[in-house]
Structure 1
Amino acid sequence: MCPIKEVSDIRRMPRLGKVRLGIKVEPEGKNPYPRATDYFVVPDEIKEYVGTMPKKLSVMFPTEKTDEFAQQWLRCYSFTQGLICKGDGSTAIRKIDVETGDVARHTTQEWVFKDWGCDPDTCEQYSEKQCRRVMNLLFFLPDVPGLGVWQLDTTSFYSIVNVNSCVDLIKRLCGRISFIPLTLSLEPQIVEPPGIKKKTVHILQIRSDVKLAAIQKLGRVAPEVIMLPALEEEEAPADLFPAEAEPQAGKAPAEPREEKTPDDIAEDDVPDMDTVVRFCFHFWQMKGRIL
């Protein structure tokens, strides 16, 4: 029997569930609202494997394609319509009310997706914080039973930069990122957004307890090519909190006061000694010693 074109040749990995960065608070007589936590909020069925309120998770990324396991978009959500707009800062796909020609709302009866412009500086939804940057992170939990990936969503500028920087650093040093044992952690950092006093927020970090030589050895083994499942996009991220200020346009946000992810690594494929020292300090807090 011949395979069905564009059906029989497709392989997808199942999505097992979500790990969240906050909880929903439902005060009596008031609208529910999200509240950030300093630990990962995990489903009850995996608490016996990772802990009740874990601050660290053993993870592996399932592919080399960052745009597949760490998608990043500007996303706009509504209570009644779910995801109503997704853009990159220039162009977007927007859910439009067929009758009014405006963005779909709670009164919308019929809608279609249309290509749209995306300009955060002039967007009404972005200025009202209804639209936010979102990273959807997909990963394995090797300590948890089940074949598939887990999804974590974050809107934090600092978490997104940390994840991107660490992934690039590991790729540069090891030649790959997939199926390498890593630790995803939530760690407190003091930040000072423009116009706002200093505060402590909990930010995603990628760490490793594996020696550099062992990681580089793992990097020589080529992983299988696997398609990831479709993202759960309709549900707004659990950490969609207005408390974290948006960095001002044209002005770099204040750096965290504590550990910083190196962002000035050389472009060479083979790391020099300075790069290795930076890597060792970032992941294992190892400091050089003069002999």
Structure 2
Amino acid sequence: MIKGWSDVVRIPRLGTIALGEKDDRGTPRSLDYFVVPPEVQEVYGPQPRELDIILPSDDLETVFPAYLKRYGDQFGLICRGDGETATVNELYARSSGMEYGIAYRDGQFVDAATGEVLLVERSGDKGWVRIPCPYKSCQHYINKKCREVAVLSVLLPRVPGVLGAYSIDTGSFHSYTNIMNSLLILKQMLGRISFIPLKLKVRMQEVHPEVNGKQIKRRVPIMYIDMGDLTLEKVLQLARERKLLAVASLPSLTSAIELEPYNEDVKPELLYVEEEADVPAEPAEVPKAQPAVQVPAQEEKPEPAVQQAEPEQEAVGEPAGMFPEKTVEQPASREERKIESGQNMVVTVQSGPREARTQRGVWVYCSVTLEDGRNTEVWAVPGTPAVDGLKLAKKGDKLFITVQQAKNGKYAITAAVPATEVEGPETEEDFGFEDIFNNEPF
């Protein structure tokens, strides 16, 4: 035997399992079943809601690690953190390190503010610069470029073929805590979690996260682990009798068993998406029809440079000309009749943003194209998250908007967030999503 070649028994990775897929437009959507490879479908069918699993290791860091991660097209994994400390890709830190307060001077990475030399850790052929992780106060997290990612590695004993592990990426706080709590209880009671027959299941659950200061409701798939038909009493008995799967079936090994490392440079695309269908649990009240505010002619088409004013408390109607009165001969269009407060849709920005001032505050608006090809305008209701969303919009951007009112083909909106991901160190990145532990995308 060649020294170093047979010291470790390594379990290979065979594929991935997901709780979502992309539709025809490339937009990820969550599902209430596991999306599994063909060989798994042959055993469990095309849409299984539970899988027989065993864990290949007792090390929780190996079988279910969870980290904050930011990705880029060119560099793969840019930054990984645990909420206290983070490591930044050395190559990225050289070219764009000032994003993290990192400067490269005289062949060393230093804190740009203090000049303190930063530690560089080596992992394989890559270097990682260690810095503090501000977590939710980090600008990349706030801008939805970084998110929490947990990776569960399991063996599927009923699936024939090569022995190997499957990976399941999740950003769900509920899924993570459900599974982690079960594993911690098992480990405390039995002294192990590896090679115990378990079942991984998924069910739909309603959650009420807060997004952009608003309470929303969503039905999302949540994973959990149980012991199937085995009772806790039976498992304890098997443990006492040394009849658990690992003892009864596996030979003694003189070498350690390891799991093939997870390729962290591969971005879990389904997790890095904007919230596309959030429904406000208590949508803001739709403004009642009031006389239009009389705006002088020179202000009907204000210049983009108008400075935003602080919204006043009294609710005075929409900007003049936004929703002109209809006559009886002009019934509402079919599209408008379908619009309800809180409805979501995707639009493509054509121009803007522009501003119009009223006593209620400053309305931000821009021209957009709807999915059916119609051109119209969307107006951000003052004091709502849509104001900031439209201010950052550029021509060609796709936005998910929440409509509060539709009239004469124009839309008053209360939320507007990017619907596409554009990333890379040379360009402004706008992908991401809200706190995954709250929003439960998958």
Shorter-chain TM band: 0.7 to 0.9
**Structure 2 partner of 1:3:** 3
In structure 1, the gaps of 5 or more residues are: 105-110, 255-291
Structure 2 match to 1:246: 435
Residues 35, 239 of structure 1: 8 Å contact kept: no
Q: Which has the higher contact order (CA 8 A, sep 6+)?
A: 1
Cα offsets for 1:124-174 (capped at 9, x unmatched): 221122211111111110111220111111011111111111111222333
Does 1:84 pair with 2:104?
no
SS in 2 for 1:12: strand
Q: CA contact under 8 A between 2:69 and 2:147: conserved in structure 1?
A: yes
Match of 1:234 among 262, 265, 283: 265
Aligned length: 238
Is 1:216 aligned to 2:236, yes or no? yes
Quick one: which amino acid aligns to residue 152 of structure 1? I
Q: Does structure 2 retain, via aligned residues, the 8 Å contact 1:62–1:179?
A: yes
In 2, Cα distance between the equivalents of 1:144 and 1:247? 31
TM-score by length of 1: 0.73
Residues 72 and 8 of structure 1: CA distance in aligned 2, closer, same or farther (over 3 Å) = same
Aligned partner letter, 2:225: I
Q: Aligned to 1:139, which of 149, 154, 166?
A: 154
Distance across 1 between alignment mates of 2:99 and 2:37: 34
Indicate the residue corresponding to 1:282 in structure 2.
none
Residue number in structure 2 paired with 1:173 = 189
- Kindly indicate whether residue 44 of structure 2 is the aligned counterpart of residue 25 of structure 1: no
Distance 1:18 1:240, change over 3 A: same
Cα shift at 1:97:
4.4
Larger radius of gyration: 2
The alpha-carbon deviation at position 19 of structure 1 amounts to: 0.6
* Partner-residue secondary structure (3-state), 1:67: helix
Measured against aligned partners, the alpha-carbon deviations of 1:58-90 in whole angstroms (never above 9, x if no partner) come to 111111111110011111122343211111111
For residues 3 and 58 of structure 1, the distance between their equivalents in structure 2, rounded to whole angstroms, comes to 37
Q: Identical aligned pairs, as a percentage?
A: 34
In structure 2, give the amino acid aligned to 1:219. A
Give the match's secondary structure for 2:258. Answer: coil
> Does the 8 Å CA contact 2:147/2:436 hold for their aligned counterparts?
no
Question: Equivalents in 2 of 1:246, 1:101: separation in Å?
Answer: 24
Matched-pair contact (CA < 8 Å) for 1:18–1:43: yes
More strand by share: 2
What TM-score comes out, normalization by structure 2 length? 0.49
Q: Hey, what does 1:53 align to over in structure 2? A: 47
Gaps of 5+ in 2: 101-125, 247-252, 276-432
Whole-Å separation in 2 of the counterparts to 1:81 and 1:99: 11
Q: Map 1:74-223; keep pairs closer than 5 Å.
A: 74-95=68-89, 96-102=92-98, 113-145=128-160, 146-194=162-210, 195-209=214-228, 210-220=230-240, 221=242, 223=246
Q: Which residue of 2 aligns with 1:274?
A: none
Q: In 2 relative to 1, CA 103–151 (structure 1 residues): closer, same or farther, beyond 3 Å?
A: farther
User: CA 1:99 to 1:82, structure 2 compared with 1: closer, same or farther past 3 Å?
Assistant: closer
**C-alpha distance in 2 between matches for 1:24 and 1:71:** 25
**Aligned equivalents of 2:225, 2:149: Cα separation in 1:** 18
After TM superposition, where is structure 1 displaced by more than 6 Å over at least 4 residues in a row?
Answer: none
